Structure 1
Amino acid sequence: MSEQTGPGGFAQRIGAQVEDADDGGARIAFEVREEHLNPAGTLHGGVLATLVDTAMGQAVRTTTGEGEVPATSQLTVTYLRPGSPGPLVVTGRVRTRGKHLTVCEADVEQDGEAVAHAVATFALLHR
């Protein structure tokens, strides 16, 4: 992908932008704003969960064929440090692609530091 595009759905509504998605990988840019913060003044964990899920889903979509729809069946997010207002980048990648299940990983970085790491399993629905 040469241009930034929205990922669609909820992630797009909160401002996520797909910078690249190709060959089992995806990169999402996100600007953390005041409305994304929790009462402690740091990036809400639910926003991070949405971003890693979206990045991994975009990565899986680069490997699917006609009629295959990825659906998150398991998601584990490890929060490494608090996120703060400003830009961050989420990188998702397919680790193992099976006929019915795909395993992915994602990393979130802000200011050159790791903010979160995630692992997810996606079921491939056939429609």
Structure 2
Amino acid sequence: MGRSRTYEWEDPALSAAAVGKGTGLEFLRDIVAGRIPGPPIGATVDFSLDEVEHGRAVFSLVPGEEHYNPIGSVHGGIYATLLDSAAGCAVQSTLPQGTAYTSLDLTVKFLRPITLDTGRVRAVGRVVSSGRRTALAEAQLLDGTDRLLAHATSTCMLFPLPAS
């Protein structure tokens, strides 16, 4: 017996057009408030940006069968997606107007399996260090009791957006 999942997303050009018009924190707060649509990857994976403040971002996901790998637990790519999003958005939350970022690397350490029984998980990202050209961030993937499931570090390149 097959299973299916249907989802919808908004045009990603809407949010892309808003990048750099205000600060990174303002942009992310607009996503949380629904004034700017979230990225399609959020709908695809079914995770959300729940909290953002300067230097910190929190995403959450309730694991489902659609996230499973062939051995019956959540696929490592889902861990990495959550951790990359949390670390990257923590960096984005510190950016001034007219500045953007892109991830240069992501190093993930998987510590515990996630299954349906794990319940909601949270990826908490924070900026460790930020300079003129790069920023270092880390993210932790936690269960409902704050048990560490995975950890990641990410280096992000910072760059000015072209004037429009």
TM-score after normalising by structure 2: 0.72
Q: Which runs of 4+ in 1 moved over 6 A?
A: none
CA contact (8 A) 2:88 2:154 kept: no
Report which structure shows greater RCO (CA 8 Å, sep ≥6): 1
CA contact (8 A) 1:11 1:51 kept: no
The alpha-carbon distance between structure 1 residues 7 and 54, as it changes in their structure 2 partners (threshold 3 A), is farther
Letter paired with 2:64? R
Instruction: Give, in whole Å, the separation in 1 of the partners of 2:55 and 2:63.
Output: 26
The alpha-carbon distance between structure 1 residues 58 and 7, as it changes in their structure 2 partners (threshold 3 A), is farther
Bigger helix fraction? 2
* 1:41-80 alignment runs, 5 A limit: 41-80=72-111
Percent identity over paired residues? 31
Q: Indicate the RMSD between aligned Cα atoms, in angstroms.
A: 1.8
CA contact (8 A) 1:11 1:54 kept: no
Instruction: Give, in whole Å, the separation in 1 of the partners of 2:150 and 2:38.
Output: 20
Q: Displacement of 1:49 after TM fit?
A: 0.4
2:152 alignment partner in structure 1: 118
Instruction: Give, in whole Å, the separation in 2 of the partners of 1:28 and 1:74.
Output: 19
Bigger strand fraction? 1
Letter paired with 2:143? Q
Letter paired with 1:116? A
Instruction: Give, in whole Å, the separation in 2 of the partners of 1:16 and 1:4.
Output: 15
